[in-house]
A and B are shown apart, each in its own frame.
Chain A
């Protein structure tokens, strides 16, 4: 099953490589990994999307907790959560495709943030499957470049992850 793990870790040099190294050394799956400092400068927040059986997810959580830099780990799947990913996608936009591409971006609530005579660059956020759906909905021949951040997640309502 797909799980989304949220991790608070000390904002120390090497912390990220310790987490990434743990996944590769122990043969765990990593679908995406995002990390940035939080409002507290000494802490970073990381979101990891991974897949595995319940036993594997339990091991991953335990192993992460064992890292000295890791302050807290939660599995967002355990309750309601919100998940977002940012995608920047550059598409060919010429002739009749130009109008069509603009319409599609609007339908998916994307923003065109850069325009040339031949291209649009669209910014789009949402759960990963929405971004996938957009890519599927447009003509693959028109896609020039995509870049995605991987998922970030946060618990719904009162649930918070803090020290």
Chain B
């Protein structure tokens, strides 16, 4: 029997086990929408803006092990999707975005609602396709899912002209895919793994530095095992939150621009660094010259060869799937006849750095500190919620004070830093985990970038909790203006804010305003108890609160601006590392 291109597409999605498609209709995809209407394998969620469709699909994927799917029409639908696609690309999220295209004969003629989607998304996709022939449609979809989810994951765009969706062809879905040009590595090199094992055993000041790759590669168990086995201190990037339990004694917190004092000091002063699924991003190590000024041997495990030695020189590069490589590395350590060097002094040093608690803040009785809200949320939810965030100070507070015990619970736009991500992301997560608590920590500016999704949440009964840390400022911008622009608050004040409580109510949800510290916990408890309602909590927080510690652009990791209580502390410098201690392995 012959099917239309649109029917073939919906059948392919069903074959892939797709549960939700997030999208928005338009002329070029009406055939597809008609086919969606006539099937019952997956559900479609009608968002209010295409950017939100892509964020929702992205977060659906981040919080589960599935590939997110978004569907948009040609032209304006496609361009609206681009920010979402770039967001997923920067964080390596597996996703398939299907966009409609004008009829094939009209392509290139500036037709109504035409845009060169393949061209426009080229720099921000893992790969993209224009389906020019219906005979290729099924195979292309199969390839798209395979490419999106394998190797270093990423978004794949499939652009389908309307007349292809209307044509008819026989449907058969390929069982597997072979691509001669695309064969992602899996196993790491045994010789390199052995070298890494020896380096780690000989290290006097080892550090395990983990990133989003551990989350994406489902390697949290292996990370825990190797850190236990060797008693390693563990630090994580913003994307690696939860990949090692944030409440574990060996976890010294997030590092980088807003990392803890102990994490940054440990990073700078370690002698052997085991980097796993982390890419030495500029928000993590600041400038390489400073970072490398104290000598250390670097072992770098990553599935993407181009991530290795991109920013810093690496002594032991290992390309492979982090889960497999770590398992092999654990094996190599167990089999080694080397005895592990004593690292008790290293831990003493780290504890000394940890003692002053660089995340300490003062919660008085008058004004709510944003940190306090996150801390209370952590307590009230027992650390078990999925937390999405937008971008700004609230994002950093969320990262610093919600100590994620598990991976895939922290959903944020780390690479692109996309304001407007949080609410649609929460929607995607809640649909993937209907029984879990899902909280969106946001700011009054960020939330307004996709606030229309409150409507989608109403239509599909998606009871997420919105925690608006409302400081009446583009807080992060204000902080930078204080640090770098002599307090000239150019356009960083959010005037004419809506009444968020009324706004939430207008959309049919529950709104709450909280302006006293004493009310924070109670409000959170009340909101969390309203299981089947979306609650929008507008916390009026301190307008002056800043994120500390902070490493300013261009400075070394240890040159942090510290919170007030640490500014006059004497902290002993670490003893220098002796080159000979390394052995001569590399």
Contacts and interface: CB of A to CB of B under 8 A. Distances in A.
Interface of A: 9-10, 13-14, 17-18, 21, 25, 55, 58-59, 62-63, 65-66, 68-71, 163
B181 interface: yes
Interface string B145-157: 0010000000000
A85 B119 CA distance: 30
16 contacts: A13-B132, A14-B118, A17-B119, A18-B122, A21-B123, A25-B123, A55-B309, A59-B309, A65-B305, A65-B306, A66-B304, A68-B127, A68-B147, A69-B181, A71-B180, A71-B181
B284 to A, nearest CB: 19
A63 B147 contact: no
A63 B181 contact: no
Contacts of A66: 304-306
A66 B306 CA distance: 8
Given A68-B147, A68-B179, 18 more contacts: A9-B181, A10-B181, A13-B132, A14-B122, A14-B130, A18-B122, A21-B123, A25-B123, A58-B309, A59-B306, A62-B305, A63-B306, A66-B305, A68-B127, A68-B182, A70-B181, A71-B180, A71-B181
A10 B181 CA distance: 8
Interface string B116-149: 0011001100111010100000000000000100
Contacts of A21: 122-123
Contacts of A69: 181
Contacts of B305: 62, 65-66
A65 B181 CA distance: 9
A54 to B, nearest CB: 11
Given A55-B309, A62-B306, A63-B306, A68 B123 contact: no
B157 to A, nearest CB: 12
B360 interface: no
B310 interface: yes
B146 to A, nearest CB: 10
A62 B118 CA distance: 23
Nearest to B156: A68
Contacts of A13: 130, 132
Contacts of A71: 180-181
Nearest to B124: A25
A112 B127 CA distance: 46
B306 A68 contact: no
A82 to B, nearest CB: 26
Nearest to B181: A71
Contacts of B147: 68
A163 B306 contact: no
3 nearest interchain CB pairs?
A: A62-B306, A71-B181, A68-B127
A58 B147 CA distance: 24
Nearest to A70: B181
A163 B123 CA distance: 27
A10 B179 CA distance: 10
Nearest to B305: A62
B122 A68 contact: no
A62 B127 CA distance: 16
Contacts of B182: 68
B310 to A, nearest CB: 6
B122 A163 contact: no
Interface string B306-342: 1001100000000000000000000000000000000
A43 to B, nearest CB: 10
B122 A17 contact: yes
Interface string B421-442: 0000000000000000000000
